[in-house]
């Protein structure tokens, strides 16, 4: 684990407080002994203390880039796996964290508009910071096609996630399936701990209505995903 | 920035000439961010000369890629010969470059 | 190999620049004709057949394996689709032309080759959508052709 | 000394392996040789780029870079011919495939781009405010010069030194960062580069654990067809992190160098394609 006190001690001994290190000047390496740090400590130091990132840039979710770089509990836990599948204890812990995050629409989950869902599945902009900050007023999307096959007629789809072609036809458009799809888009870690899939709802990438639209794109019998 | 870059290399008895031109090659159908059509601006004619003799005359539309590349091959070229490439676009602008064959 | 850079401006169709004027004086080129010669109608034709007729006075093509056309089957970037055409198996090649059937104006380029040229050209073209690319080689008064399909797709992270 | 000899052994083995390409090859020939002995879908995915590689626009960038490298420039009117990229002043052959590396004169691990900026400052007298250093990406001096230098390592095996403790520390931090999930998408580098043959949209992604495909992934500078420009390693780092929805990484920062130190190590022993051409 990253030890804040230890870094702070190293810093206090070497750097003047409040003076940001420059990327070009031989400050940090010469004054702080990187070889005495664990890889985790050094990584955190390079990100937060050695002018590694533009941390003060405002982010569209109302916070700053610093919060973007700061890991939450789930991110920390999953990063520690180093790409390996989650062990039982990790899986249980992450799934619990995820279940606690689910928030449902008032009045229950209802199928949204599959056409809007299609737009959200195709569009990939939103939330990118520097150097080119996304214009977040338009073209915001979940970019589902980056990782999933959906409409079988669409030829450019990614394969990081499983194919979702014919998903509704296969699983049925039942209340149970609707809740399952809503949950997975909102925070998939409840079912797949430490999945690669972003927490679209829990992280505010898509709002609740948008999630029901994506849900409709997958489940509505009229949607091209199921034709 | 209307550079004409040319490479000419003798290989297997012929001279392969490759040229890279600097030009926006606007088709006239693209829109700027404000939604206005960007007027057509593209190279129309390219000439390639070997020791001053016209060898290739090409007519191009806006569908040749931005910063155009093309290559052609010539027989009967010797080391020290001059290869020149020049172009004229639909606005009457022109540029040229030449190179001595190694 | 350092290309010697020169830059000139056309002024009302007249070339300024000593070297070129001298060359024109020798009767090697006729710069005034260059602008006028650009086949406007052919480049503005919005069907393949019309474009062929405007360029060649005929749209009758003879598909031939002596025209070797290379283009990528899939292009992730329609803005720079590499095309190469080789017609060395044909005698007396006068010109090599490129058409992209689905482009709003199909004629892309025409290379007129003098004797002494090897009948091969390569270039890169823009394709707005998937479609056929057609190479037309004019030789001995006939039009030989080769056709290949290019699928234009999207790569990368999207957005 | 004994310890050094032991450390050198795996490197010698790597160099003796067939992975080392003929340095007389062109970049497209280096790639073709990799394709011939690999079944990587990443290497062969783009017929378009394979065709374009034979006439790389970056060849002209190399020529421009050579002129800039040899020309006396900056307030000190000096060329870069005395710059030490790790193998001695002015030695460029094979220098880039042995970077990032530790430099005693700065006490830091530096990659090609940060070392180049260092020499432009110390030898030529440029400052951060000068256009020559300020303009990082695009049709810039930095890109042209680094493309010229990198091309001197075409076909050679990646072999970043791991002798100095700082080199190991930076590589370790880079590995840590590679798996570090953060931001609104929870992405890490490993999200896209941890499996074989996966696609994002239509693009096949390179797996960092398959060295003979990963070498192409880390072969920068490369002409980016979609950008109509040559891009360097720092640009690639920045763009991936931008797509990952994390914060903007600082060009030439040690965070970026650590990432490059790790990714170069993962391609160890495989021939570099320099300059490469990518989507």
CB–CB contact D169 A37 (8 Å) = yes
Nearest-CA neighbor of A142 among A51, A209, A53, A44?
A209
The neighbouring-strand residues paired with B56 are B48, C113
Helix (H) or strand (E) holding C75: strand C74-75
Distance (Å, rounded) from C-alpha C120 to C-alpha B1? Answer: 29
* Residue B94's pLDDT band (cuts 50, 70, 90): very high
Residues D201, C73: C-beta atoms closer than 8 Å: no
Q: What is the DSSP letter of B80?
A: T
Q: What is the pLDDT of residues B15-31, one digit of tens each?
A: 999 999 989 999 999 99
Measured distance CA(C10)–CA(B90) in Å, rounded: 11
The H or E element containing residue C74 is: strand C74-75
DSSP H stretches of helix in chain B: none
Q: Average pLDDT in the A161-175 region?
A: 97
Give strand pairing partners of C124.
Answer: C82
- Provide the 3-class DSSP secondary structure of residue A193: coil
D-chain CB neighbours of C70 within 8 Å are 51
Q: Does C26 touch chain B (CB under 8 A)?
A: yes
Q: What integer pLDDT is reported at residue A150 of this predicted model? A: 98
Residue D125 has pLDDT above 50, yes or no: yes
Size of chain A, expressed as the number of residues it contains: 227
Dump pLDDT digits (tens) for D150-183: 999 999 999 999 999 999 999 999 999 999 999 9
| Minimum Cα–Cα distance from C156: chain A residue | A146
Could you tell me the pLDDT band of residue C139, with boundaries at 50, 70 and 90? Answer: very high
Number of A to C CB contacts under 8 A, please give it: 23
Backbone angles phi, psi at D276, to 5 degrees: -95, 175
Q: What is the pLDDT of residue B97?
A: 94
Q: What per-residue confidence (pLDDT) applies to C24?
A: 36
pLDDT score at D89: 97
In chain B, residues with a C-beta closer than 8 Å to the C-beta of C113 are 55-56, 72
What value does the mean pLDDT of chain D take?
Answer: 92
Predicted pLDDT at C158: 60
Average pLDDT score over residue span D230-246? 97
Mean pLDDT to the nearest integer, B61-80: 95
Burial of A26 (0-12, 13-18, 19+ CB in 10 A): middle
Per-residue confidence at B6, pLDDT binned at 50, 70, 90? very high
- Residues contacting A7, CB < 8 A, separation 6+: A37, A41, A44, A45, A49
Give residue limits of the domains in chain B.
Answer: 4-27+40-100
Average pLDDT over residues B51-67: 96
Average pLDDT over residues B2-19: 89
In this prediction, residue B12 carries a pLDDT of 86
The alpha carbon dihedral of C139, C144, C145, C146 has a sign of negative
Question: What's the confidence (pLDDT) of residue C7?
Answer: 34
Name the residue among A124, A134, A139 with its Cβ closest to that of C157. A124
B83: left (phi over 0), alpha (psi -120 to 50) or beta: beta
Q: What is the DSSP string of D81-141?
A: TT-BSSSSBT--TTTGGG-SEEETTTTEEE-HHHHHHHHHHHTT---TTSHHHH--SSS-H
**Model's pTM, two decimal places?**
0.84
Quick one: which of D149, D55, B94, B92 has its CA closest to C84? D55
**Helix ranges, chain A (H):** 4-14, 28-31, 39-48, 65-69, 73-79, 88-101, 114-122, 167-171, 175-187, 208-219
pLDDT value at residue D14: 40
Question: Predicted confidence band at A131 (pLDDT cuts at 50, 70, 90)?
Answer: confident
pLDDT of residue B33: 86
Å from C124 to nearest chain D CA?
A: 9
Q: Please judge whether D52 and C80 are an interchain contact, meaning their C-beta atoms are less than 8 angstroms apart.
A: yes
Q: Which residue has the higher pLDDT, A83 or A93?
A: A93
A136: pLDDT confidence band, cut at 50, 70 and 90?
Answer: low
Distance of CA D205 to the CA centre of its chain: 18
B17 has which bridge partners? B8, B72
DSSP 3-state of A102: coil
Query: Chain B partners of C37 at a C-beta cutoff of 8 Å?
Result: 45, 59
The dihedrals phi and psi of D219, each to the nearest 5 degrees, come to -80, 85
- C158 vs D: CB within 8 A: yes
Q: What is the mean pLDDT of residues D58-80?
A: 95
- Per-domain boundaries in chain D: 2-6+27-278
Q: Which of A122-126, A148-152, B63-67, D233-237 has the lowest mean pLDDT?
A: A122-126
Cα–Cα distance between A111 and A225 in angstroms, integer?
15
Confidence of residue D11 (pLDDT cuts 50, 70, 90): very low
Residues 6+ apart with CB under 8 A from C5: B3, B4, B97
Count chain B–chain C contacts defined by CB atoms under 8 A. 150
Distance from CA of A154 to the nearest CA of C (A): 10
From the candidate CATH numbers 2.60.40.10, 3.30.870.10, 3.90.1310.10, 1.25.40.390, the one assigned to the domain spanning B4-27+40-100: 2.60.40.10
Model confidence at B77, pLDDT cuts 50, 70, 90, reads: very high
- Between the CA of residue A37 and those of A7, A20, A34, A120, what are the distances in Å? 8, 20, 5, 43
Say how far apart CA B81 and CA B6 lie, in whole Å: 13
Tell me how many degrees the CA angle D50-D56-D60 measures, rounded to the nearest 5.
175
| Interatomic CA distance for residues A121 and D215, integer angstroms | 32
- Tell me the average pLDDT of chain A: 88
The answer regarding whether domain D2-6+27-278 maps to CATH 1.10.3720.10 reads no
Q: Which of B89, B24, B101, B98 is nearest to B60 (CA)?
A: B89
pLDDT of A80: 97
D124 pLDDT more than 50? yes
Give residue C111's pLDDT: 98
8 Å CB contact of D191 and A71: no
Query: What pLDDT digit, counting tens, does each position of A7-20 carry?
Result: 444 444 444 433 44
**Tell me, what's the pLDDT at D196?**
96
**Are D247 and A129 inside 8 Å of each other by CB?**
yes
Looking at the annotation, which residues of D are catalytic?
240
In the structure, what pLDDT confidence band is assigned to residue C153 with cuts at 50, 70 and 90? confident
Burial class (CB within 10 angstroms; exposed 0-12, middle 13-18, buried 19+) of D176: buried
Are C131 and C155 in contact, with CB atoms under 8 Å apart?
no
| Beta-carbon count within 10 A of B94 CB | 25
Residues of C in contact with D279 (CB under 8 A): 76-77, 155-156
Task: For chain B, give the percent of residues with pLDDT over 70.
Answer: 98
Q: How far is CA B45 from CA A141, B4, B91, B96, in A?
A: 44, 14, 12, 12
Q: Bigger pLDDT: A130 or D235? A: D235
Higher per-residue pLDDT: B1 or A76: A76
Which of the other chains make 3 or more beta carbon contacts under 8 angstroms with chain A?
Answer: C, D
Burial D42-68 (b: 16+ CB within 10 A, else e): bbebbbbbbbbbbbbbbbbbbbbbbeb
Distance from CA of D126 to the nearest CA of B (A): 25
pLDDT-based confidence at residue D16 (cuts at 50, 70, 90):
very low
């Amino acid at each position: 684990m990253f030890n804040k006190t230890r870094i702070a001690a190293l810093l206090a001994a070497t750097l003047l407080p409040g003076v940001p290190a420059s990327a070009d000047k031989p400050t940090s390496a010469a004054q702080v002994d990187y070889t005495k740090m664990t890889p985790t400590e050094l990584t955190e130091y390079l990100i937060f203390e050695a002018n590694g990132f533009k941390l003060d840039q405002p982010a569209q979710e109302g916070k700053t880039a610093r919060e973007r770089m700061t890991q939450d509990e789930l991110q920390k836990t999953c990063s520690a796996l180093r790409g390996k599948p989650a062990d039982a204890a990790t899986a249980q812990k992450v799934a619990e964290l995820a279940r606690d995050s689910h928030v449902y629409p008032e009045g229950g989950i209802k199928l949204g508009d599959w056409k809007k869902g299609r737009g959200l599945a195709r569009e990939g902009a939103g939330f990118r910071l520097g150097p080119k900050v996304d214009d977040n007023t338009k073209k915001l999307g979940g970019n589902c096609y980056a990782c999933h096959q959906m409409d079988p007629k669409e030829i450019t789809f990614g394969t990081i996630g499983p194919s979702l072609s014919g998903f509704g036809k296969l699983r049925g458009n039942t209340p149970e399936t609707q809740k399952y799809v809503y949950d997975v888009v909102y925070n998939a870690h409840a079912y797949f701990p430490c999945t690669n899939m972003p927490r679209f709802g829990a992280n505010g990438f898509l709002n609740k209505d948008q999630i029901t639209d994506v849900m409709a794109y997958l489940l509505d019998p009229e949607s091209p995903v199921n034709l | 920035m209307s550079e004409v870059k040319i490479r000419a290399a003798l290989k297997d008895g012929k001279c392969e000439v490759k040229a890279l031109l600097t030009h926006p090659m606007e088709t006239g159908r693209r829109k700027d961010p404000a939604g206005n059509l960007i007027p057509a601006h593209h190279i129309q004619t390219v000439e390639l000369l070997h020791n001053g003799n016209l060898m290739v005359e090409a007519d191009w539309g806006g569908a040749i890629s931005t910063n155009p590349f093309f290559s052609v091959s010539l027989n009967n070229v010797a080391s020290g010969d001059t290869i020149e490439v020049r172009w004229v676009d639909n606005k009457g602008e022109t540029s040229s470059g030449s190179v001595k064959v190694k | 190999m350092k290309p010697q850079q020169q830059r000139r401006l056309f002024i009302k169709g007249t070339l300024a620049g000593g070297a070129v004027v001298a060359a024109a004086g020798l009767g090697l080129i006729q710069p005034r004709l260059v602008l006028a010669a650009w086949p406007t109608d052919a480049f503005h034709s919005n069907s393949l057949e019309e474009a062929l007729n405007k360029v060649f006075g005929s749209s009758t093509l003879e598909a031939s394996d002596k025209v070797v056309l290379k283009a990528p089957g899939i292009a992730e970037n329609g803005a720079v689709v590499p095309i190469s055409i080789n017609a060395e198996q044909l005698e007396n090649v006068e010109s090599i032309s490129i058409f992209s059937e689905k482009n709003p104006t199909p004629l892309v380029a025409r290379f007129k080759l003098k004797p002494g040229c090897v009948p091969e050209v390569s270039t890169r073209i823009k394709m707005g959508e998937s479609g056929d690319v057609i190479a037309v080689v004019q030789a001995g008064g006939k039009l030989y052709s080769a056709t290949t399909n290019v699928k234009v797709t999207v790569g990368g992270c999207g957005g | 000394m004994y310890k050094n000899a032991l450390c050198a052994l795996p490197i010698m083995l790597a160099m003796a392996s067939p992975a080392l390409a003929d340095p007389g090859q062109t970049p497209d020939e280096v790639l073709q040789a990799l394709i011939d002995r690999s079944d990587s879908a990443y290497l062969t995915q783009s017929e378009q780029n394979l065709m374009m590689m034979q006439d790389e626009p970056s060849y002209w960038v190399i020529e421009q870079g050579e002129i800039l490298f040899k020309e006396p420039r900056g307030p000190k009117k000096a060329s870069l011919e005395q710059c030490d990229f790790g193998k001695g002043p002015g030695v460029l052959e094979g220098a880039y495939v042995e970077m990032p590396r530790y430099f005693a004169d700065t006490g830091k691990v530096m990659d090609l781009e940060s070392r180049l900026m260092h020499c432009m400052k110390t030898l030529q007298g440029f400052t951060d405010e000068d256009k020559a250093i300020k303009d990082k990406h695009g049709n810039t001096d930095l890109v042209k010069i680094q493309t010229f230098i990198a091309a001197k390592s075409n076909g050679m095996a990646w072999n970043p030194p791991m002798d100095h403790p700082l080199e190991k520390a930076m590589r370790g931090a880079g590995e840590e960062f590679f798996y570090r999930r953060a931001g609104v998408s929870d992405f890490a580098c490993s999200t896209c580069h941890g499996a074989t043959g996966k696609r994002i949209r239509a693009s096949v992604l390179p797996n960092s654990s398959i060295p003979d495909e990963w070498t192409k992934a880390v072969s920068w500078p490369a002409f980016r067809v979609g950008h109509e420009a040559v891009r360097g390693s720092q640009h690639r780092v920045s763009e991936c992190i931008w797509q990952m929805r994390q914060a903007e990484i600082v060009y030439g920062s040690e965070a970026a160098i650590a990432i490059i130190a790790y990714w170069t190590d993962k391609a160890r022993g495989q021939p570099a394609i320099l300059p490469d051409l990518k989507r």
